[in-house]
């Protein structure tokens, strides 16, 4: 079975500081499915598990953790041969690993006629990947909140944009850790940012990704690229960085 695993962008990303009661950061984001960039996945039943990324066999990855979760949750003992052609650049902030795991899970749920509960979605978001519930939702646009497990459809028209990949590779775990060390505070007023995105009367003022300034401190080349591009357009990173979203100002 051949699957297309699409990427995503974060037009707005608000990150809440962790508290003593929270294992991970809560977020609020407008996520949009991007069908221009996608991975290609071939999956079939097999005698043993095999996960291959671009002809390289991988033993520990998000897809592997997703398979383990699926088997434990539904008491499935089958094994699978999975080949993934990675067209989405790694660590680019557009959900490349999460979309692979989500589309494989969707395929398996359909194959065995199974479904997920809200508790399952929260468990997946907390323990495997916070972007996965969005990819499982089959929505093109959504407001995503809590730990990524709360996904609500967004029906309004958004501006045209361009997704631009760079050579930067931002490790999300390292980036979150760096933010925590700096005891960051969110700069995003989510409702105002959303309104600005929709009306564009003030050059998208307020649209922001809380992770952006910290990604720039971890990768100076990414900052330099941003400074060059932002002279004539609204530029922000998607997710944890590595890729830019370009919005042209209206004249």
pLDDT tens-digit readout, 69-110: 999 999 999 999 999 999 999 899 999 999 999 999 999 999
Confidence category of residue 165, pLDDT binned at 50, 70, 90: very high
Q: 197: helix, coil or strand? A: helix
Average pLDDT in the chain: 91
Q: Is the pLDDT of residue 147 over 90?
A: yes
- Which of residues 157 and 251 earns the better pLDDT score? 157
Q: Do the Cβ atoms of 250 and 200 come closer than 8 Å?
A: yes
Separation CA 173–CA 160 (nearest Å): 30
The answer for residues whose C-beta is within 8 angstroms of residue 230's C-beta and 6 or more apart is none
The answer for residues whose C-beta is within 8 angstroms of residue 231's C-beta and 6 or more apart is none
Separation CA 68–CA 59 (nearest Å): 12
Q: Is the pLDDT of residue 22 over 90?
A: no
Confidence category of residue 1, pLDDT binned at 50, 70, 90: confident
- Backbone angle region of 14, left / alpha / beta, with phi > 0 → left and psi within -120 to 50 → alpha: beta
pLDDT tens-digit readout, 172-201: 889 998 998 888 999 999 999 998 888 765
Q: Is the pLDDT of residue 251 over 80?
A: no
pLDDT tens-digit readout, 31-67: 999 999 999 999 999 999 999 988 787 777 999 999 9
Nearest Cα to Cα of residue 164 among 92, 104, 231, 107: 92
C-alpha R_g of the chain: 18
pLDDT at 250: 53
Q: 42: helix, coil or strand? A: strand
- Which of residues 160 and 124 earns the better pLDDT score? 124
């Amino acid at each position: 079975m051949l699957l297309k695993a699409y990427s995503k962008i974060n037009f707005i990303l608000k990150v809440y500081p962790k508290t003593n009661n929270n294992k991970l950061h809560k977020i609020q984001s407008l996520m949009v499915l991007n069908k221009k960039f996608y991975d290609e996945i071939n999956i079939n039943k097999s005698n043993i598990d095999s996960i291959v990324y671009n002809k390289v066999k991988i033993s520990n990855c998000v897809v592997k953790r997703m398979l383990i979760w699926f088997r434990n949750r539904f008491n499935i003992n089958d094994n699978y041969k999975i080949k993934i052609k990675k067209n989405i650049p790694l660590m680019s902030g557009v959900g490349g690993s999460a979309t692979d795991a989500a589309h494989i899970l969707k395929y398996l749920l359909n194959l065995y006629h199974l479904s997920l509960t809200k508790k399952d979605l929260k468990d997946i978001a907390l323990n495997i990947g916070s972007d996965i519930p969005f990819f499982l939702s089959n929505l093109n646009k959504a407001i995503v909140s809590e730990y990524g497990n709360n996904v609500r459809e967004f029906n309004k028209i958004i501006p045209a944009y361009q997704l631009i990949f760079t050579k930067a590779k931002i490790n999300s775990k390292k980036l979150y850790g760096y933010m925590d060390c700096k005891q960051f505070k969110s700069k995003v007023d989510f409702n105002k940012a959303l309104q600005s995105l929709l009306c564009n009367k003030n050059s998208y003022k307020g649209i922001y990704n809380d992770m952006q300034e910290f990604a720039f401190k971890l990768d100076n080349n990414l900052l330099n690229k941003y400074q060059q591009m932002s002279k004539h357009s609204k530029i922000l990173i998607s997710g944890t960085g590595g890729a830019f979203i370009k919005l042209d100002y209206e004249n």
